[in-house]
Structure formats: structure tokens, C-alpha cells
Amino acid sequence: MDRPEIILAPGPTPIPPEVLLAQGSPLVYHRGPGFGQLMREVTDRLRELYRTESADVFLITSSGTGGLESAVQNVLSPGDEVLVPLAGYFSERWTKLAEAHGLNVRTIEYEWGQKVRPDDLAKALAERPAKAVLLTHSETSTGVIQPVQELARVAREAGALVIVDVVSSLGAVPFAFDEWGIDVAVGGSQKALAASPGLAFVAISDRAWEAHATATLPRFYFDWSIYKEFAERKHPENPWTPAISVTQGLHAALELYFQDGVDVAMKRHRTLSRAVKEGVQALGLDLFGAGLEDNWTVTAIRAPEGIDADTISDRLRSDFGVVIAPGQGPLKGKVFRIGHFGYFSELDIIRGLAALEMTLERLGHPVKRGAAVAAAEGVFQEAPGASNDA
């Protein structure tokens, strides 16, 4: 019998039944009061999540990368210099995107899995200024949460715009658009918020709007001025036909998210993260990446000596229907990744760890049966309330 895959990946994450029902409901026509209200409620919630009073927040029909592209196109001009601290797959995406748009891209290179150091950024900006710094808050390829608050402070002091990919961090770990002095932050529907893929969102500061006024890169579909004009109509609209169903789903997802509140969600992510980390360590596996106690979105785990990490993820899927994420770039075959942000419960984690134990044993890696599950249970018993319905 075919069963749905059990997703333990860092996006798309599992989707609650309420969200599936909402997005399977009859369409709310996208020009009119019904959709206008939907949009207003969704963007109000998102503004709360971004922790901003003043920023404009727009919904864009695209995956997260479209939102990143919109950021580049709306505030920059050909030949502008941008600085990218490069420490993983998604910061590398920033460089590719910026190069494709004819920008002058400078990088500060780190080994994947490291934290970006604010001092390095300060030094690079002192050597030569940049129009913008392109940051990745949660580097999903390594699990590392980058110190965006400090990096943003350094970038601002040097007069650079601060543009941040928060696709896998918004709603997962603490973030504060206004307080941290962020100019553009791009999120996505399919990560911590547990909605379907298909919507990106951007938060835009006044400084970013000023840059927008003189930016000359070509833009049309993603032109924020057009989004603003439509968002300010009596019944807010999207300029183009939006992913209506996904918006209905995202609305339901945000309702669920805010039922417990932001703090409870973050605490849950922290607890689930600890359970995964202690669980795999109880199997004798090593964790990957800097700052592990902060990395609540996804855990990167080194495959044991002699076993290809991709074989572990392949066998988890073929034997148990459990989907985890493989290593990317230079980490391919070396690490596998377990996601634990979004609509995950304690038992989802326990189930995944049990499958991992059996998989490792089948691949010839000696494990003490139940060791990972026992370690995770230990974490949960010390920190009750990690489940979704707590």
C-alpha cells in the first residue's frame, strides 16, 4: 500500500490537515473583498513574525528564490558592488543570482559549516565599501544560524543595505527586522510556517525604498512599486494572478502558528533540535557545523566512516518512507540532514530516529537498538510541551 512519505526535511515541511483543507477549498476570487481581507490578514501576521511596524510586506507568487531575485532587482543597478559572506549552498545562491544580474560580486569565503564573523565583514567593508550585503540567516545546507543581528549592524555602519534570506529562519528562530536594522528580508511559505510551496514574501524598509527609487536593473513581474500600488487599493490585491490556493493555505497555517504563539513555536524547535542532536550522538554519530545549540532548523550529521551519506537517505526513503535531506555541494555523500522546524511533533522525531537506527544497522553500522530513541525521550521528558498540541 502506498503511504504518504514521512517528511523530516528542511522544506517543504509537513503540512497540517487544516492547511490542506483550506487550500483545497473553493477559490476566493483574487480581485475583491474576500481575497483583499485574506491578503491583509496574512501580511499582518507576517509583519508580526518579521517583528516590524514600519516595513511593507508583500506576497509574491514564486518559490523563495523568486523573492531573493526581487530583492536584487528592486534595489540595485548594473555594476553595483555587493558583498556576500559565503559559507554554504544558499549563500552561494546569492552570488550566482547577483552575478546573473551583472552585479560586481565580492565574497568572504568560509569553509561550509562555519559561522560568518562580523569582524571579517567590517574589515572587508573598510577595504572597499559595498552597496549591499547579501546574508543568509539560516544556512539550510549546513544547519548554521548566522549572526545576522551583528552582521547587519556592521553593514549598516559601513553604509551598506542589509538584504537577508530568511526563507528557512522566519518563524523558526528569533528574528527582528526593525530592531536589527534590516532593509530587505525574504521568506517562503514552505518552511517553518508549514504551508505549501508557492509563495515568497518580502519585507522592505524605508532605506530599501529609497534605493528602489534610483535602482535601474530591469524588473517587471517582481517590481515592488506595482505590488505597492495594488496592495494599497481598497481591497488589497496582487498585481498578477496569485497562487490563491496557497494563500488560503498559508492563512490557515498562520492561524495555527499563532494559536500557540511565536515563543512556543521557537521553544518547540529548540527542543526538537536537541532531541535530534542527542539522539544521533547516542548512535555514535558526529554532528556537523558551528554553533549547534543555536541551530534549531536543521541538523547536519556526518555519515559514519565507510558509509556514503546518500545511501543513508536513500535507504531511509526506500525502506521506511522517511524523507531526509542529503548533503549539498562539498558535503554531498558526507552529511545527511534532518529538519525539525514547522509542523513536527515529538513522535515525528522519535519515529525518524527509530528508522535511522534500523537503517544504520542494515548498512552494517553497529548501533545499540533504541539508543537514539531513548536519548530523544530523555530530552522530551525534561522539556515537556514540545508536541504540536501542547
Ligand X SMILES: *Cc1c(COP(=O)(O)O)cnc(C)c1O
Whole-number Å distance between alpha carbons of 265 and 115? 24
**Cα-based distances in Å from 134 to 48, 117, 176:** 23, 14, 17
> By C-beta, is 12 or 16 nearer to ligand X?
12
> By C-beta, is 70 or 140 nearer to ligand X?
140
Q: Which of 56, 92, 165, 346 binds ligand X (CB under 6 A)?
A: 165
Q: CB 12 → ligand X: shortest distance, Å?
A: 9
Kindly give, in sequence order, each residue whose CB lies less than 8 Å from that of residue 109, ignoring residues fewer than 6 positions away.
86
Asked if 296 interacts with ligand X (CB under 6 A), we say no
> By C-beta, is 177 or 380 nearer to ligand X?
177
Picking from 149, 175, 184, 166, the residue whose alpha carbon sits closest to that of residue 58 is 184
Number of residues that bind ligand X (CB under 6 A): 12
Whole-number Å distance between alpha carbons of 355 and 375? 15
Q: Which of residues 86-125 bind ligand X (CB under 6 A)?
A: 90
Strand 199-204 and strand 325-326: the pairing is unpaired
CA torsion through residues 363, 365, 367, 373, sign: negative
Q: Which of 7, 11, 151, 256 binds ligand X (CB under 6 A)?
A: 11
> By C-beta, is 278 or 294 nearer to ligand X?
294
Q: Which stretch binds ligand X (CB under 6 A): 145-153, 163-171, 241-249, 371-379?
A: 163-171
**Cα-based distances in Å from 315 to 306, 310, 321, 323, 324:** 15, 8, 9, 10, 10
Range list of H helices, 139-223: 148-157, 177-180, 206-214
- Count of C-beta atoms within a 10 Å radius of residue 214: 8
Q: Which stretch binds ligand X (CB under 6 A): 60-68, 126-134, 210-218, 252-260?
A: 60-68
Q: CB 167 → ligand X: shortest distance, Å?
A: 4
Whole-number Å distance between alpha carbons of 14 and 25? 19
Q: CB 232 → ligand X: shortest distance, Å?
A: 27
Which region, left, alpha or beta, applies to residue 106 given φ > 0 means left and ψ of -120 to 50 means alpha? beta
Q: Which of 140, 142, 205, 247 binds ligand X (CB under 6 A)?
A: 140
Asked if 167 interacts with ligand X (CB under 6 A), we say yes
Asked if 168 interacts with ligand X (CB under 6 A), we say yes
Asked if 63 interacts with ligand X (CB under 6 A), we say yes
Asked if 345 interacts with ligand X (CB under 6 A), we say no
> Which residues would be at the binding site for ligand X (CB under 6 A)?
11, 63-65, 90, 136, 138, 140, 165, 167-168, 188
